[in-house]
Structure 1
Amino acid sequence: MRTIIQPVSLSAAAVGLSVLLSSASFTAQAPAARQTADPCASPANKIVAENCKPGNPRTEWDINADGDPTIQGFASAMSVNVGESLDFKVRTHSPRYRIDLYRLGWYGGSGARLIQSIRPSVTLPQAQPDCLTANQRLVDCGNWTTSASWQVPADAVSGVYAARLIREDDEPEPWRSEGNNSGVSGPAAPPPPLPHSYGALGLGKLEDAMKEKRASHVLFVVRDDASQSTMLFQTADPTWVAFNRYGGSSLYSSYLPNQGGGGGGGGGAADNPRTRAYMASYNRPLTNRSSTVSDQFFSAEYPLVRWLERNGYDVSYFSGVDSDQRGSEIREHQIFISAGHDAYWSAAQRANIEAARDAGVHIAFMGGGVGMWKTRYLPSVEGLNTPHRTLVSYRETLADGKLDPIKDVWTGTWRDSRVFNPEGAKPENAVTGTIATVGPTRHDQLGVPARFGKLRFWRNSDMALLADGTTAFVGRGVLGHEWDEDLDNGSRPAGLIRLSETIVDGVPYVQDWGGVYDSGTATHAMTLYRAPSGALVFSAGSVQHAWGLDDLHTYFVTPGRLRPDPMGPVKAVQQATVNLFADMGVQPANLQPDLRPAQPSTDRTGPLARITTPAAGTIAAGLLTIAGTATDRDGGIVAGVEVSVDDGATWHPAVGTASWEYEWQVPATLDQATVLSRAVDDSNNLGEVSPAVRVRGARARTTEEQQE
């Protein structure tokens, strides 16, 4: 087994130096080995107990890309409660197959455990009709008949599950290791073992080939509605569905359906000239792993699941649909977690998440581009009218006008401020703290300047040891494939602080409300704010942030399979996440031995800010520099300063902390203004407002001169 050391790049801006050091070079705060009891002897919670059971190797439960196109299927619901039944609808010409049900987690690094194997309940081969289509390019395969059902055990552990559909018939397997024989002379004709046909001679044989490669996945969530686990993990399934192109189209584009081998779904969607769908059905197999590899579960959600369960966090699971339908249940947990590319939010989903925050539930947005697109739900169209099986988003922002036939409902970006948005702009950073600005497909490192490394977020990590003036760059791809910024756009939450800073040139930068991109320079920052309820809200601001927590995920280099990423994980990101959850009041039950336990902050006093410039009575015109100082009062560090130029009606972030500045473009029509400041520390205590400084505009002076 190879060992790869994660590089850490340090830059000293003052002298223009760039140094590459390994993370092993930082040793001052390396934790000593901890003597711990066997966690499996008396498991602290269901997650610890479940992960004490032996897992199965990836070669048994993973699939190649989207899986075998000759056996594809989906579940009758995105989530199911323990003790309930779930149906599977499968399309294949195979006369013999089985369904292996795996729960995904840590399991000593294996990543999944076989729960049960079931057989189809119908006579095989089972003929399935073509999927239904509609003029919105909607493809709904709900007209397929049920192939098998699973009675979820009452004692099942909540989690993300994969039903692996496996062909067992005698039809010859594709000879190629990934199960794809395209580009060869015949459907089952490997090249002959002649001189210089190296692979045919036995060289380069794939060492981690699937044991049964004629297989595909059906993903679903098992809930535990009676659970009050400390954490609730929500999957980004609306985004999976939005990008899914099975049957010919997605919310992004249209494609020719794959008609080969009974897996295509066909039905005429490709004959519709519209370039993209306005609706997407949950009643379809998912085919994201070979196309939109960054916008599916195994890219940026699965590594977070692995890391949470590895460390024994008390977590249960929820789907994005559940956040819409059952969102009040979020308030039964201490921390709500969103991961990956959780881009598509309905109005009810956003309202439920906001209500949980306002009730004191901490939120960790561990992905990026969160809540960018507004959606709504309709029932399925196959005749059963199953609620919440059709995701609707006309993505009206791209059309520069109203498309959704419901006149008072908008399904474009939440931030779109144009007059034809009947609901008005509600930028997503009002909830998350960050807002998507950088498009695909980035693969950048996370930058942590030393001034941020001193914040408590980075305690017990290498970042806390950085020399003044240096910046650490870690985790290639941790910023990707799309990422966010902290913008002063009128929706920035009060007291928000930055935890990092990465400036990148030449990124695809959004030019409008979410549809047009051009090359630009962007500044990424992880952020944290405290809501009035006391809830902490963290935003990683990057779809692939979880790559810093665990190294097993799909990615661009090997999109078809789950394989370890040689650049991850990043120990400092792991430690910072332990710190974050501790400040949210949650501890791991089985902390990995190379990390340190963290304790929540006892700092309850906000810092003091003072304005030193301008002086009261100053005539303000043009670009006015407002400056001052800020001092912490309870053992913390000043982490941010905000300035108001309208007597506290709105607030804007200043540059600097202990000494700070804010540049204000004074309106030519100003008569007078009241300038205020306030500071926030690294425990997110927002200090009291400073004494007011009143300035006068140039127009006021002109009026006085005329009166004289």
Structure 2
Amino acid sequence: MTRSADAASASVTVTATAASNGTTTLTYRANVLKAGTIREITVAFPAGSTGRITSVNGTVSSVSSTVLRWRPTRVITVAAGTRLVIPFYGFRLPAGGPWTLGFKAIGTARQTLTSGYGVLQPLKTYTAATTVTASNPIPGQTTELRYRSTVTRAGTLGSVRMQLPTASTGTVTSVNGTLSIAGGYATWKPKAVLNLAAGARISIPLYGVRLSKYGGIMPLTLSATTSTGTVLSSGTGSLSLIAPPAAMPAVAATGFAAIPPGCPSSWPTTVAENAKAGTGDWVIPASMNGQLAAYLTKVSATCGDTVDLKVTSGNPVSVVAYRMGYYAGLGAREVWRQDDVPTVVQDAPITGGTSAEGHDLRMTSAAHWTKTLSIPVDKDWVPGTYLIKVSDGQSASYAPLTVRDDTGTKHDLLIQQATTTWQAYNRYGGVSFYSGPETGSGRLTFDRPYNEGQGSGQYLTLEQGLVFWAESKGLDVTYWTNNDLDEFGGQLPARAATVFLPGHDEYYSLRMRAALSQAIARGVNVANLGANTAYRLITFTGDDRRAWDIDRYTDGYTSTTWRYLGDAYASQPLLGAEYFCPVTASTLTTGTGWIYDGVPAGTRLPGFIAGEVDYVWPGLYKHPGLTTVASGTGTCRSNGRAVPMHATTFTAPSGARVFNGSTFAYGCFLVRRCPSNWTVPAPDAASQQAVGTMVANIAEWVSQGTINVPADTTAAQVRVAVPKQPLQTSTQP
């Protein structure tokens, strides 16, 4: 190709073009300055280049390691101003550049026809820059996916292979090509020939993709190739499929029942109640652990109720009801007693039962036990948490009871008891949920004693500390249980401005979760002073809420979890963080921020990251403004790996504040008595003081200042020796 040009300048240029076989073509251009017949042309090329070099209309030979000679195969006579164009094929260029390269044309009379230098810029390369986007990126929904990628090598497009999101389904279609689905990939082939240059952008839409109920941040690959398999583009795009919090059914806010005759319309303040004489007689020494056992026919009660007690002993027993609190460090006050109560040795509990679907429920029940005693809950039973101590002088056991304030009074704080979780771990007389993947219960009943905590369930190990702390501070506090959340959950905004959830509050029915979610949406603040909360899904079997079912048949332990319904039902969208694993106890080192106000930065709290931990999963919904206010590292019991612990906060659109504590240890540190099988030193006074300050900061932050905790100059001490209790745990994730 020639054109007229100013003969005063050679105007040498050198350009690079990528070839389809992966090599580079260098094209040299120059203006002829003197007319003549071409004998040869010599060109310089970048040092370090390799390849088998060819050209057209001439032969190519090597002059040196950086110079080539081209000689025409026919006579070529040129005039001044002629534009010479000489391509050289097959280069494999080194990295680097730009390069200044010489060009010289010699005539048959050995005269110089043209000469000069041109600058070769590095060959432009392209990255695939693959992206995958979704029009409706919500797990469980149908969406359009669009895969985009940049062609990095020129060629004729044969097909585009795209990885689909895990477990996606649906009737998937596209445009301008044929589509096939196999093995989790969609392969698109164009209907017409598509010759693509390097740098071209591919965009393939996939319609009708039904996402699985699980989402997360998914890496999805794309590969575009020719019909012979040459790769034109290959890369990975990241697709975020994040489910918003699941919609919950409305829970009716039923009114409060009329106050029964003889019951007060208001109750003493926490300060007034704890000014009454306390006693340490509530404590059962470890030497009295034995065969005696007891349970109550109600989990919670209110003034005017009667609760039946069932005991197995065979000896006369004393039955004493203790209201748990502070009481100058003694921890309880005697409210009611009856001595010399005759008992029998009850028949053994029965394990069995079959569901309507034919599943073996493996439920252990002592419902057939005969009644030992009826206990009237009257005006003397100030609302609170109670331990009913049953003793025959040789052995003793507790039966726990929570007494509600049903007067309609709204309190600053409500502390919830995790009664459904206590029952899940209860092995008394047979099996618990955790007795084994194939042998654990599918139905749990409250019609039997607890074998943990000397009959108190997980109250003494994880929950008494919160009660002791709140009442030692004189807070306006009231109490209820998981069973009450299911039954009266719509009343939560009328009962309290702020709710404390305990250390291990794992088992939630739909009504429980819906009520808690609704309360947050209506401005109730929540401090979850635990971890692994609202993790497993249960269904109460009747209005009396004496038993609950759990689906361990569909997919073992997996199908028992809320998250099995999909990512929208995980705990993180509800409370801010999600369960990770059971851990061996580790040290928390304090930092800065409001949660540590009053605690020097760098304070070590040995054993505080304990039981189980939560953290913020990147693939789950994060509330706007979600903040990690405390963090540390634990060690998973199952595999020994280090895992993060994140204590988080967020403010809901309603203005409600939500704190997620992400470790079991808050409550037990407040009484310096953590589970005996955590294999960590008992918290010392300094650790108790630090955690007490942290809990006070949490209470004041989450309540938006409506809970004003008195300054802690010396943390309240338990004046009685309570035996340390082991905590039944599971290594199941």
What band does the TM-score fall into relative to the shorter chain?
0.5 to 0.7
Aligned partners of 2:694, 2:557: CA distance in 1, in Å?
Answer: 41
Specify the alignment match of 1:399 in structure 2. 556
Whole-angstrom CA distance in 1 between matches of 2:663 and 2:678: 19
Identity of aligned residues (%): 25
1:503 aligns with 2:503: no
User: 2:577 is matched with which residue?
Assistant: 434
Match of 1:540 in 2: 661
Is the CA contact 1:86–1:149 (under 8 Å) kept in the aligned structure 2? yes
Is the contact between residue 160 and residue 220 of structure 1 (CA under 8 Å) also seen in structure 2? yes
* Deviation of 1:485 (Å): 0.9
Contact 1:164 1:215 in 2 (8 A): yes
Q: Secondary structure at the match of 2:298?
A: coil
Contact (CA 8 Å) 1:312, 1:588: kept in 2 or not? no
**2: CA distance between counterparts of 1:341 and 1:479?**
13
Does residue 357 of structure 2 align to residue 134 of structure 1? no
The amino acid that maps onto 2:406 is D
User: Any stretches of 5+ residues in structure 1 without a counterpart?
Assistant: 1-42, 174-213, 255-272, 380-385, 402-410, 464-471, 509-516, 596-708
Give the direction of change, closer, same or farther, for the CA distance of 1:370–1:99 in structure 2 (3 Å limit).
same
Deviation at residue 247 of structure 1 after TM alignment: 1.3
Which letter maps to 1:220?
L
Cα separation, 2, equivalents of 1:229 and 1:351: 21
Matches within 5 A, 1:69-468: 69-94=290-315, 96-119=316-339, 124-135=342-353, 136-168=361-393, 173=394, 214-226=395-407, 227-253=409-435, 275-289=439-453, 296-332=458-494, 333-379=496-542, 387-395=544-552, 399=556, 412-416=560-564, 421=565, 426-440=569-583, 442-449=584-591, 453=592, 455-463=593-601
TM-score (norm 1): 0.58
Partner of 1:676: none
Shift of 1:120: 6.9
Contact between 1:297 and 1:340, CA under 8 Å: does it hold in 2? no
1:507-546 superposed Cα distances (whole Å, 9 cap, x missing partner):
23xxxxxxxx533221112111000000000011001222
Distance 1:97 1:548 in 2: 33
Amino acid in the other structure paired with 1:76? T
Q: Distance in 1 between matches of 2:471 and 2:338?
A: 26
1:66, CA displacement in angstroms? 11
- Separation in 2, partners of 1:529, 1:277: 36
Task: Provide, for residues 291-315 of structure 1, a one-character-per-residue CA deviation record: whole Å limited to 9, x for no partner.
Answer: 9x9x711112111111111111111
Deviation at 1:146, TM superposition (A): 1.4
Q: How far apart are the structure 2 equivalents of 1:557 and 1:573?
A: 18
Q: Could you tell me how far apart the structure 2 residues matched to 1:368 and 1:567 are? A: 24
Alpha-carbon spacing, 1:398–1:556, altered in 2? closer, same or farther (3 Å): farther
Equivalence map 1:17-36=2 (5 Å): none
Contact 1:162 1:218 in 2 (8 A): yes
Q: CA deviation at 1:591?
A: 4.5
Shift of 1:346: 0.8
Change (3 A) 1:582 1:415: same
Match of 2:730 in 1: none
User: Distance in 2 between the 1:67 and 1:324 partners?
Assistant: 35
| Counterpart contact for 2:585–2:679, Cα < 8 Å | no
User: Structure 1 CA distance, aligned partners of 2:386 and 2:670?
Assistant: 21
Structure 1 residues 557 and 344: CA distance shift in structure 2, 3 A:
closer
How far, CA to CA, are the matches of 2:531 and 2:554 in structure 1? 19
Q: Is the 8 A contact 2:292 2:311 kept in 1?
A: yes
The verdict on how the C-alpha distance between 1:298 and 1:63 changes in structure 2, with shifts beyond 3 A counting, is same
Question: CA separation of 1:400/1:250 partners in 2, compared to 1, >3 Å: closer, same or farther?
Answer: closer
State the alpha-carbon separation in 1 of the partners of residues 645 and 578 from structure 2. 10
2:293 partner SS:
strand
Deviation, 1:351, is: 0.4
Deviation of 1:475 (Å): 2.1
Deviation by residue 1:139-185 (Cα, 9 ceiling, x = unmatched): 121221211121112253211101100104xxxx5xxxxxxxxxxxx
Q: Aligned pairs, how many?
A: 439
Q: Following the alignment from structure 1 to structure 2, what is the Cα–Cα distance between the partners of residues 588 and 44?
A: 21
- Cα gap change, 1:245/1:443 in structure 2, threshold over 3 Å: closer, same or farther? same
Contact 2:343 2:372 in 1 (8 A): no
Secondary structure at the aligned position of 2:434 is classed as coil
Q: Check 1:66–1:577 CA distance in 2 against 1; reply closer, same or farther (3 A cut).
A: same
Distance 1:304 1:228, change over 3 A: same
Distance 1:568 1:112, change over 3 A: farther
* Equivalent-residue separation in structure 1 for 2:714 and 2:491 (angstroms): 34
Give 3-state SS (helix, strand or coil) of 2:667's partner.
helix
Which amino acid in structure 2 is aligned with residue 126 of structure 1?
A: V
Are the equivalent residues in 2 in contact too, given 1:283–1:389 (CA < 8 A)?
A: yes
CA–CA distance in 1 between the matches of 2:463 and 2:603?
23
Q: Does 1:572 align with 2:715?
A: no
C-alpha separation in 1, matches of 2:332 and 2:674? 13
SS at match of 1:357: helix
- Label 1:462 to 1:558 Cα distance change in 2 as closer, same or farther (>3 A): closer
Q: Distance in 2 between matches of 1:279 and 1:65?
A: 31
Write the distance in 2 (CA, Å) between the matches of 1:79 and 1:364. 22
- Counterpart CA distance in 2 for 1:223 and 1:274 is 38
Q: Tell me, what secondary structure is at the counterpart of 2:420?
A: helix
Measured at CA, do residues 65 and 77 of structure 1 come closer, stay the same or move farther in structure 2, by a change above 3 Å?
A: farther
More strand by percentage:
2
Contact 1:547–1:568 (CA under 8 A) maintained in structure 2: no
* Partner deviation per Cα, 1:63-118 (whole Å, 9 max, x = no partner): 25696433211011100012321111111111x11101111111111111111212
| 1:109 match: secondary structure | coil
TM-score, length of structure 2 as denominator length: 0.56
Tell me which residue corresponds to 1:52.
275
Residue 555 (structure 1) aligned with residue 676 (structure 2): yes
For 1:49, what is the secondary structure of its paired residue?
helix
Deviation of 1:243 (Å): 0.3
C-alpha RMSD over aligned residues: 2.9
Match of 2:93 in 1: none
**Matches of 1:590 and 1:246, distance apart in 2:** 41
Query: Distance in 2 between the 1:398 and 1:566 partners?
Result: 44
- The answer as to whether partners of 2:412 and 2:707 remain within 8 angstroms in 1 is no
Structure-2 change in CA distance of 1:287 and 1:558 (3 Å): farther
Tell me the distance in 2 between the aligned counterparts of 1:67 and 1:358.
Answer: 47
The amino acid that maps onto 2:520 is R
CA distance in 1: counterparts of 2:534 and 2:545, whole angstroms: 18
Instruction: Name the SS for the 1:252 alignment partner.
Output: helix
For the 8 Å contact 2:586–2:633, the answer to whether it is kept is no
Shift of 1:127: 4.9
User: Deviations along 1:23-52, whole A, 9 cap, x unmatched?
Assistant: xxxxxxxxxxxxxxxxxxxx9962111111
